Amino acid sequence: MTEFPIEMLHRFCPMHAVLDSTGHIVQAGPTLHKVGGSDLDGKRFLEIFEIYRPRSVLSMADLLKAEGRKLHIRLRGGVRTPLKGVLSANGRGGGVINLSFGISVIDAVRDYALTSTDFAPTDLAVEMLYLVEAKSAAMDASRSLNTRLQGAMVAAEKRAFTDTLTGLHNRRAVDQVLDRICRSGQPFSLMHIDLDFFKQVNDTMGHAAGDHVLRCCARAMADTSRKDDTAARVGGDEFVIIYSTLTNRNRLSDLAGHLISRIEQPIPFEDQVCNVSASIGIYCSNGSEQDPARVMEQADVALYAAKRAGRAQYCFFEDQEDRSVTADPSAIAGE
């Protein structure tokens, strides 16, 4: 084998090792020093590196017999990155073995802090690294874009189910929640709330005052509902609260009375005071699958029974044989 200058081997085969007839490393390329250690020279190659395929390579003589064959190699200690190698004999019992990382090049770059200067100028691994970096950058950009798109979708969906004036849910959200809860057979109750004397506020003080009143009343309804409940504005001055799993009439009476009391508090606006109240119709489910439209209809009937009872009242819908609606006696009594 023709001997090549050390500088040439270093340039074109930065992961080579020149072995003498006893298998000791005479010289090693700069990248191999990074991988196997800076003190490789003078050590037996097979004491630093393990050839695990073919398994029969245990000595320098075995290495020479495997000349030209692809060898699967790894370090015996430290980071055991898989390597590929091939040996070329020099005719004097020694030879040159050239190593590469193969498909493990990405791990090797990370494990040994390698740069493009640690590879031969013609090594395709460098181009592959650039492709991997480009792909990684593209994937990062794609993930970032997907995150932004998902955030935009969530925000758009939230806007689609939110009343922009009050920040409560809107009619679309009520339809979705009511449909789901009715099909599930889960017990629930629904309050249909209509503001009393709201038209007078709009007519005498203007729509800005009316909007302010709606926002104040919405805060009272949000405070009267729990995390799993749904408070919504479904019309101009109409609201709905769906109470999940709550059907206790005493508790609902307390909530309705408290809500009416909150809404009846004078609402300052600029240098004036707005006064409104609320009438409430309450429907309680019986724990079976129900029709959402029928639920809203029954709550609506109870609402107008409350208005007929003198406003600022709440009434329960009672599904009797004649489907009449009665106002809760305690409500009419003003309790």
Taking only the tens place, the pLDDT of each residue in 49-79 is 999 999 889 999 999 999 999 999 999 988 8
- Please give the C-alpha separations between residue 32 and each of 242, 255, 295, 332, in angstroms, as whole numbers: 71, 78, 78, 93
Distances in whole angstroms, Cα of residue 246 to Cα of each of 137, 243, 255, 301, 315: 52, 6, 11, 20, 16
Question: Does 268 sit behind a cis peptide bond, omega within 30 degrees of 0 on the bond before it?
Answer: no
Are the C-beta atoms of 225 and 231 separated by less than 8 Å? yes
Which has the higher per-residue pLDDT, 166 or 137?
166
pLDDT tens for each residue of 161-178: 899 999 999 999 999 999
- Among 103-107, 245-249, 271-275, 326-330, the range scoring the smallest mean pLDDT is 326-330
* Predicted pLDDT at 51: 94
Q: What is the DSSP letter of 169?
A: B
| CA atoms of 316 and 281, how far apart (whole Å) | 6
Flag whether pLDDT at 255 surpasses 90.
yes
Q: Can you give the pLDDT at residue 14?
A: 93
Average pLDDT over residues 22-49: 93
Are 88 and 68 in contact, with CB atoms under 8 Å apart? yes
The confidence score (pLDDT) of residue 325 equals 42
Cβ count within 10 A of residue 209: 18
- Rounded CA-CA distance 269/78 in Å is 76
Question: What is residue 24's three-state secondary structure?
Answer: strand
User: What mean pLDDT value characterizes the chain?
Assistant: 87
Give the tokens for residue 57: 């390579």
At residue 23, what are phi and psi to the nearest 5 degrees? 90, 10
Number of C-beta neighbours around residue 329 at 10 A: 9
pLDDT in tens, 191-225: 999 999 999 999 999 999 999 999 999 999 999 99
pLDDT of residue 108: 85
Q: Are strands 16-19 and 230-233 parallel, antiparallel or unpaired?
A: unpaired
- Look at residue 31 and tell me whether its pLDDT is greater than 90: yes
Does residue 95 or residue 5 have the better pLDDT? 95
Q: Are 17 and 97 in contact (CB under 8 A)?
A: yes
Q: Which residues pair with 169 in a beta bridge?
A: 162, 232
